[in-house]
């Protein structure tokens, strides 16, 4: 069987397309990694080869994201949904460890994923509250980011253990253009889900308490999540005893998701999916060769501008239900203004080998995910189809 393939034009939201050269190298390494006579998925997670993969991946991620020495990098099994719970229990414990008291967690809800994260914190028994819900500012629908004046005063009124936001909402196509100033000016730990826009643009890691990012969008396969955390938060979590947490009513974090334990064991407290991690490392190496995050950001901005430009050009035919001030560069959502054409749109797109365009089942319509591995050429083909379809069906 050949390792060659026709380059796909796939716009699915995740698991997402990966660079072909990464998959080709991974396929070879799955059979025989570094000439050890075993595949990368067969070696012990505590072998020197596996330890080297972990260290290489951490180093490349630090280089690409300019991670300061104040922060630690580690990897855990699971995805964003696993992160919803581990963030809530670990960060609540950190506040107890630092201050000896509890405080509620604050959530900025701008789409389905930040909403689900809040709901999970509540389900676990974490004291959590919604600081702002974007639906309240957009006729009951997501599609805007409310002004900071709507919630900033709440940060001054009482203490919060952390404030959570999802920087890019894949379902609703909403992306925070930057961290809100009300948060960066506060002393509250910022906890951010970057699952679908990590390494799509440059950010200042030093401003974050914790960054979580599921791998299956921009950086690899499903099954692993990247975490970047302040070392001081790790110390605070460790300072909270189980007895203290029980007395405070904070759920005890399962040991496999207890951040200090995972870090102490170099992400290998339990069996890390080393093949999945190796693919992340190959993606990071590929991005470094491409010119890093700065080069990728320029390309992503061009891709997004091309597609939004085509949709806006035919605004009598397409509807983009997201405010221009917070349109996602990763997930472009849109609908058709004429009824009865959705199936035809997907069928004709498929005939041009443009796939993965169906919108999330909860909102319908269409979604084009422009992750890092989606080429500028693929986006140009999509733009041509979007324009042709509008002109032929107006």
Question: What does the chain come to in residues?
Answer: 394
Pseudo-torsion of CA 379, 385, 389, 390, nearest 10°? 40
Q: Which residue has the tokens 């221009």?
A: 324
How many helices (H) and strands (E) in the chain?
13, 14
Measure the CA–CA gap between 178 and 175, rounded to whole angstroms: 9
Active site residue 193: yes
Is 151 labeled as catalytic in the residue annotation? no
Please identify which of the residues 58, 151, 176, 193 carries the catalytic annotation.
193
Name the packing angle between helices 231-239 and 80-99 (round to 10°). 70
CA distance 296 to 142: 28
Q: Is the bond into 15 cis (omega within 30 degrees of 0)? A: yes
Task: Return the SS3 of 384.
Answer: helix
In the three-class reduction of DSSP (H, G, I as helix; E, B as strand; rest coil), residue 230 is classed as strand
| Residue owning tokens 């001081």 | 232
- How many CB atoms neighbour CB 194 within 10 A? 25
Q: What are phi and psi of 105, to 5 degrees?
A: -95, 145
Place of tokens 């979590």: 237
Does the annotation mark 303 as catalytic?
Answer: no
- One of 29, 58, 197, 217 is an active-site residue; which one? 217
In terms of Cβ atoms closer than 10 Å to its own Cβ (0-12, 13-18, 19+), residue 346 is: middle
Helices (H), the chain: 20-31, 48-65, 80-99, 112-124, 152-157, 181-184, 231-239, 242-248, 259-264, 274-290, 292-313, 342-351, 376-393
Could you tell me if 9 and 362 are in contact, meaning their C-beta atoms sit under 8 angstroms apart? no
Separation of alpha carbons 26 and 49, rounded Å: 15
SS3 19: coil
Q: Are 225 and 247 in contact (CB under 8 A)?
A: no
Q: Which of 29, 58, 113, 151 is the catalytic position?
A: 113
Both structure tokens of 175: 């992306």
Catalytic site positions: 113, 193, 217
């Amino acid at each position: 069987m050949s390792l060659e393939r026709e380059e796909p034009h796939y716009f699915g939201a995740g698991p997402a397309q990966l660079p072909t050269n990464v998959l080709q190298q991974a396929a070879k390494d799955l059979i025989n990694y570094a000439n050890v006579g075993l595949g990368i998925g067969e070696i012990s997670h505590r072998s020197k080869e596996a330890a080297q993969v972990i260290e290489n991946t951490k180093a490349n991620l630090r280089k690409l994201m300019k991670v300061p020495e104040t922060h630690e990098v580690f990897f855990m099994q699971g995805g964003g949904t696993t992160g919803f719970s581990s963030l809530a229990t670990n960060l609540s414990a950190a506040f107890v460890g630092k201050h000896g008291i509890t405080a509620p967690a604050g959530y900025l809800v701008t789409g389905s994923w930040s909403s689900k994260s809040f709901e999970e914190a509540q389900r676990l028994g974490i004291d959590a509250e919604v600081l702002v819900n974007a639906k309240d500012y957009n006729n009951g629908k997501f599609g805007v980011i409310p002004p900071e004046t709507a919630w900033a005063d709440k940060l001054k009124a009482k203490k919060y253990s952390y404030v959570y936001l999802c920087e890019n909402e894949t379902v609703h196509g909403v992306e925070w253009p930057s961290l809100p100033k009300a948060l960066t000016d506060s002393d509250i730990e910022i906890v951010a889900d970057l699952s679908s826009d990590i390494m799509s643009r440059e950010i200042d890691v030093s401003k974050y308490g914790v960054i979580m990012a599921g791998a299956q969008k921009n950086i690899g396969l499903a099954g692993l999540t990247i975490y970047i955390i302040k070392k001081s938060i790790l110390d605070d979590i460790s300072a909270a005893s189980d007895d203290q947490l029980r007395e405070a009513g904070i759920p005890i974090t399962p040991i496999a998701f207890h951040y200090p334990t995972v870090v102490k064991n170099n992400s290998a407290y339990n069996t890390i999916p080393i093949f999945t991690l190796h693919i992340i490392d190959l993606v990071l190496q590929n991005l470094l060769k491409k010119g890093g995050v700065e080069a990728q950001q320029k390309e992503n901005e061009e891709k997004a501008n091309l597609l939004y430009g085509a949709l806006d050009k035919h605004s009598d035919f397409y509807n983009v239900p997201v405010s221009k001030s917070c349109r996602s560069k990763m997930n472009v959502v849109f609908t058709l203004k004429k009824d009865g054409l959705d199936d035809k749109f997907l069928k004709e797109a498929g005939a041009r080998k443009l796939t993965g365009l169906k919108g999330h089942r909860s909102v319908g319509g269409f979604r084009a995910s422009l992750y890092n591995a989606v080429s500028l050429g693929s986006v140009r083909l999509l733009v041509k189809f979007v324009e042709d379809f509008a002109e032929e069906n107006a």
